[in-house]
Structures are given as C-alpha cells and as structure tokens.
Amino acid sequence: MKKIKTKHVIMLLVLLVSVSFVVHQGVYAGDKSQAENTETALSVKVVQAEYTDSVPTLAFNGSLEGRTSATVSAKIAGRIEEVLVQEGQQVNAGDPLVRLEAVELANSARQAGDAVRKAEVNYEIALNDFHRYQTLYDKGAVSEQQLDNARGKLKTAEADLSSAKANRSSAEQQYGYGVISSAVNGVVANATATIGQVVAPGAALMVVQDINQVYAVVNVEQKSLGSVKIGQKAKVTIDAYPDKAFEGVVEVMNPEAGSASRMFRTKIKIDNANNDLKPGMFANVRLITGDSVKTLTVPQSAVVQKQGIYYVFTVENGKAVRHQIEVGEVTGSTIEVKSGLEPGSQVISTSVNRIKDGDAVRVTS
C-alpha cells in the first residue's frame, strides 16, 4: 500500500514538472516573438499632412539672356594686334575692345591727307587763274576761249579736291575701324578674339550684353497660352541661388509658334542690379496665374512614385498603410495632394522606398 502511494507521488511530481516546463517554454516563446517583432519594426519619422497657402502657377524651365546684346565684329579685314578686354569685364558704349594692326591703314590715311593738301593747292591756283583771266577778259585782254580754259581747269581742280577729300574720309574711316569699340554698355561674353588672329569683315569676336536687366526665356505650350499675359508676374529661381527667388514680369511673347517646337517663345524680364544673374544660367520659372488658395501638402520625401502612380504611407496601429494619391503642384520641398489623403494624417517621411503596405514600423522623433 505504501509502495502504491509513493508511486502516485512520483507520477504527480513528474506531471507538475512537465506542466511547468511547457508553460515556461510558452512564455519564453511569446516574449521572444514579441522581442523579434520589436527588433524588425522599421524606425520611421512622420509629418502631418496639412493645408498651406499656395498660389496657382505654371512652371517652365528656361535659360537667361541679356536684355540687350551686341555682337562685336570687325568691319575690315586685318590682324588682331591687341585684345583690350576679357570675359566678364564691364564696358561702356564707345570703349575700345580690340585693336587691329594699323600700319598700312595709317599710311593710307596719311597719304590721303597729303593728296587733299595737294588738291587744295591746285584748286587755289586754278581759282586765282580763273579770277585773273576773268579780269583780263573784262578788259578785252584775253579771248573767251582762254577764259573757258581757265574755267575748265578750275572745275577739274574742284572735282579733284572733292575726290581727294572723299578718299581721305574713307581712309580715315578705315583707320578708325582698326579700333573695334563697344556699341552698348554691358559685360563682355563669348570672347574668341586672340592676338595675331586674322579676321574678316563681319566675323564675331565677342558679345557685349547689358545684364542690369536679364530675360528668363521659356517656351510656352499652346494649351497654356491662355494663362500667360504681358505684365504677368513670375518667380524665378536659379540653381546658383537655390534659397533666393527673383521677381520677374512677362515682357515679350512671340505671336508665332516655333516651326519645329510648336511652342511660343516668351521672355520674363528680371531686374539684375547686382549682376548676380548671368546669361546662360538655367532658370526655373513659375508664372503666377491666380490668387492664393489653401492646398493639402506633404513633403516630397514622403511621396513614392512607381509607373506613374503616386502614393504615401501613414502609420496605423504600428503598421504602414499605403494610400494612392493624386498629386498637384510642386512648391519648394512640398507637393500638393489633390485626393487620397485626409488632412491631419501622420505621413511617413523617411525610408519610404523600403516600406511595403502592412510592414511593422516604429515612429521615432
């Protein structure tokens, strides 16, 4: 009887130990699973989708041009003796830019001057002779034929003098062309002139651009043409000054579309008193087309785009929830959400390209 009781006690102890072990293993497994879930949750940051004031705009890409631009070229053939300016240098109208070798031009001008002085002497002689013959003819001392001869010599001398003066003027002009000057106030750009270079008439040597005001030049599509007007205000940003917006106004609209692009070339004038803006810079132009309105926006970093579909992720009960959205205007670092998202939603703004719908996430500050 005693042996039976002992056996029962042993069996009971074994059963209790087994139950305790199973329970312990279950608790351990649950704790381990929870720890693993915590460890695999992706840390993310969130922002709140909110309404902001925005101005309706049309966006264009373009480039800057000087408002006034003059190509500098030679009017005569010659060899460049001296280049007097360099790119980026400020010049005024009339300032010399390039000097051509002028020895032959100077000789021609001097010879033309000598010819004028000689022709003037001959003219004075012919004039005096004519007056003398006129007096003698009046006294009957010479014949009419002799007077006519004197008159003919005077006309010839007068024609020779006129021709000599014209030649001198041309030679002096040619000599003057040896110094090539700026036609406008501005900044030197695209200089190709070099000492020793032989140039032909009309060959471009450099450009002088007035950049106190510049144009942002864009091409406007036909569908947007009705929203663009002369005098319309614009905001212009330049890659070189990412934190600065320049004020502009539409000044020129080509009334005819380009034959190849079918777009309308449009110029936005920008004041540039500090000469910060340079011709050739890339410009981002936003034409203001209406009054300020409230729009729902999120950071661009929160938006994922795949195959033309845009979406964001929100956090709900520790899970990432995907929302397909319709996007609108991009302004700075934010993008307009037209539909698909409620105001106040907590939108994931980091690691969005690593997240899938339903992934476990942990919000960090």
Strands 233-238 and 179-181: unpaired
Weakest mean pLDDT among 53-62, 82-91, 109-118, 293-302: 53-62
Q: Is residue 110 part of a domain?
A: yes
List, as one string, the DSSP characters of 245-314: EEEEEEEEE-SS--TTT--EEEEEEEE-TT----TT-EEEEEEE-S--EEEEEEEGGG-EEETTEEEEEE
Among residues 127, 154, 176, the one where a domain terminates is: 176
Task: Determine what percent of the chain is predicted with pLDDT higher than 90.
Answer: 60
- Provide the sign of the torsion angle of the four alpha carbons 42, 47, 49, 54, taken in this order: negative
What's the CA gap between 365 and 355, in Å, rounded? 18
Structure-block tokens of residue 228? 């663009």
Among residues 251, 268, 288, the one where a domain terminates is: 288
In this structure, are 270 and 230 located in the same domain? yes
First to last CA, the chain: 71
User: pLDDT tens, 172-224?
Assistant: 888 889 999 999 888 898 899 999 999 999 999 999 988 889 999 999 998 88
In this structure, are 132 and 111 located in the same domain? yes
Q: Is residue 181 part of a domain?
A: no
Q: What pLDDT score was predicted for residue 33?
A: 44
User: pLDDT tens, 247-264?
Assistant: 999 999 988 888 888 899
What's the CA gap between 110 and 121, in Å, rounded? 17
Q: What pLDDT score was predicted for residue 150?
A: 92
Largest Cα span, the chain: 193
Domain that holds residue 160: 103-176
Strands 282-288 and 57-73: antiparallel
Among residues 227, 262, 288, the one where a domain terminates is: 288
Phi, psi of 57 (to 5 degrees): -140, 165
User: Would the pLDDT of 227 be above 90?
Assistant: no
Angle, helices 103-138 vs 144-176, to 10°: value is 160
User: Would the pLDDT of 160 be above 80?
Assistant: yes
Q: Is residue 194 part of a domain?
A: no
Helical spans, DSSP H, in the chain: 2-40, 103-138, 144-176
User: pLDDT tens, 313-362?
Assistant: 999 999 999 999 999 888 778 899 999 999 999 999 999 999 999 999 99
User: Would the pLDDT of 62 be above 60?
Assistant: yes
Question: 215 near 267, Cβ under 8 Å?
Answer: yes
Give the chain's domain count. Answer: 3
User: Would the pLDDT of 284 be above 80?
Assistant: yes
Q: What is the CATH number of the domain that holds 138?
A: 1.10.287.470
- Which long-range contacts does 139-146 make (Cβ < 8 Å, 24+ apart)? none
Q: What is the CATH number of the domain that holds 245?
A: 2.40.30.170
The amino acid present at 31, given as its one-letter code, is D
Q: Is residue 186 part of a domain?
A: no
Q: Is residue 12 part of a domain?
A: no
User: pLDDT tens, 6-38?
Assistant: 555 455 554 554 544 444 444 444 444 444 444
